Chains A and B, each alone.
Chain A
Amino acid sequence: MHPVGTAHYLAVSAALLLIGTVGILVRRNIVILLMSLELILNAANINLVAFSQHLRAVDGQIFAIVVITVAVAEAAVGLGILIALFRNKESVNADDFDLLKW
């Protein structure tokens, strides 16, 4: 069995990114779209931390902290928007919000 190297972590990150992308494309429930977004941001974080460990520099982990901050802000605002949407349309289905669609 190969020793676990940086490439292994990059493969996990790529797989997680892919699963998140598929989730965003395939699901219709807005709550689950936001969850898939969290998966994608986590994939980016694994990449950053893996290279931070590879280069023995702590800078990548600082980047990961900033990404986590942005993810928190995005989740809070996204769920606020979701509640406002649900109050207006009584639906959490992404296909129902097509007011701007021509």
Chain B
Amino acid sequence: MLDTVFFYLFTLLTLGGAILTVATRNAVHSALFLITSLLGVAGLYLLLHAEFLFAVQIIVYVGGIMVLFLFVIMLVNLDAAAAQRQFSRMWPVALGCVALVGLELFYFLGKGEPAFRIAAPPPVPEPTAGNTERIADVLFSQYLLPFEIASLLLLVAVIGSVVMAKKRI
């Protein structure tokens, strides 16, 4: 019961924050609403028993990426941009996207509950180790190569962003 309440609370946080991110004119307000949305996603991870990802979401997204975004918003002068028109003429395409997904949603809602029944989970016993321990076990054995590739990607991104932001290349 409490699970359900928290699910809808975090969903409201996520989707409300996302809508306001897209809809507000001021970029700083957008960034603050994006933080709300990302915190809601972190709460959903917690409800899904992904405690490690919950921590990563808050540390990396809210603590890292959003600070980066706010710094860049302060660096570039947005006063001139805020005075201009904020929304482009692509809104019919966006409306088409919304209509398509809305149609799909109502079609499946009309079909009732059987449409939402996903194949039952396999009968695996509840794990004894914690979430973080299990992730570490798999990450450093089965997925070691993707892990190393990800570190290489981060190195390339660091060098790339430094080169990009230099005054004279």
Contacts and interface: CB of A to CB of B under 8 A. Distances in A.
* Chain B residues touching A, range: 35 or more
Contacts of A32: 21-22, 27, 30
A5 to B, nearest CB: 7
B124 A56 contact: yes
A25 B95 CA distance: 10
Given A6-B118, A82-B76, A22 B14 contact: no
Label chain A's interface by main secondary structure: helix
Interface of A: 1, 3-9, 11-12, 14-16, 18-23, 25-29, 31-32, 34-36, 38-39, 42, 45-46, 49-50, 52-59, 61-62, 64-66, 68-77, 79-84, 86-87, 90-95
Interface of B: 3-4, 7, 11, 14-15, 18-19, 21-22, 27, 30-31, 34, 37-38, 41, 44-45, 47-50, 52-53, 56-57, 60-61, 64-65, 68-69, 72-73, 75-78, 80-81, 84-88, 90-91, 93-94, 97-98, 101, 105, 116-118, 121-122, 124, 126-127, 131, 134-135, 138-139, 143, 146, 150, 153-154, 156-158, 160-165, 167
